[in-house]
Amino acid sequence: MTTPLPDASGAAPLVTVLLATWNGMTWLPQQLDSILEQRGVTVQVVALDDESTDGTREWLLARAAEDARITVLPGMGRSGGSAPNFYRLIRLVVPTLEGYLAFSDQDDVWHQGKLEKHVGLLRSRELDAVSSSVTAFTESGRTTLIKKDYPQREFDYLTESPGPGSTFVLSPRLAALVASELADETSPASRAEFHDSLIYAIARGRGWPWHIDGEPSLDYRQHDANVMGSNVGAASALSRLKLIREHWHRNEAILHARVALRLAEGDRHSALQSMLALFESRGIRARFALARRAGSMRRRPRDQWIIGVLILIGIW
């Protein structure tokens, strides 16, 4: 276990956890308890409910009245999804952020040493972000390791996330950079459909170091609402194939490349320009050129082969 050093004041490191909720009462109490029970750090939770109809907001307000570590922001109307709700949280909270930033779904269970270890890695290795593998579990009790720590590739950040956003811990400067992109109306960042993939693209586009920890940091609940989350099972495969055929993944990769280009410098900028040109072209020569780069677009060897084939046959 990596133990973070105390701050100059002798206090434990402060981590602000952004909690975006919507109709989460079934699993939220267990999730929130696992966050507040984190050791080795000082935790504060800032929640923004997305107009729940199951009593989630009322329950959060009651917990906040009992625990000063919890802040519930005023309702802002429906955002339209999890990512837009997180984007609102980031824009509201980060300008006055002290310490590190983390994100929480409303249905996972965090391992007790999650934040202590990840803050320790941020400090000891001078990183800007840490994410991790997770243990997916179902209500029937079946568990599956979802390995995310395959070696990072030159352009993996354009096509995949380094783990669920609920595993992320960000440095203050990366949190500020993300907030700046989301607040900039000239940036396409706020159109990204998943906050975790967007944040990864911002960090890697700027060239800041990101570590993917192989040890699971939380139990990742699997149910109908997040069937694509762990990329496990027939339902997930069918959902992803449908999106691939509709070119959703390619369009998200184009958006990530455009955001990253705003932040990249030197050789990284030139390489990104070349990748974006290939993404945006549908010609046969561009297809073969992009397929040859499949090994740089995904971390897992099996996924490199799959995306290469999908590009060649014109589905991706």
Token output for 205: 């586009």
User: What is d(CA 6, CA 174) in angstroms, rounded to the nearest whole number?
Assistant: 21
For 128, what's the count of Cα atoms within 13 Å in the CB-facing half-sphere? Answer: 18
User: Which pLDDT value is given to residue 279?
Assistant: 98
User: What is d(CA 227, CA 215) in angstroms, rounded to the nearest whole number?
Assistant: 22
User: Which pLDDT value is given to residue 5?
Assistant: 56
Q: How far apart are the first and last CA of the chain?
A: 41
CA dihedral (68, 73, 74, 79) positive or negative? negative
- The ranges assigned to domains in the chain are 14-241, 281-316
Record the pTM.
Answer: 0.93
Evaluate whether 14 touches 101 at the Cβ level (below 8 Å): no
CATH value of 14-241 in 3.90.550.10, 3.40.190.10, 3.50.30.60, 3.30.420.40: 3.90.550.10
What are φ and ψ of residue 272, in 5° steps? -65, -40
Q: Which H or E element spans position 28?
A: helix 28-36
pLDDT tens, position by position, 59-116: 999 999 999 999 999 999 999 899 999 999 999 999 999 999 999 999 999 999 999 9
pLDDT tens, position by position, 24-59: 999 999 999 999 999 999 999 999 999 999 999 999
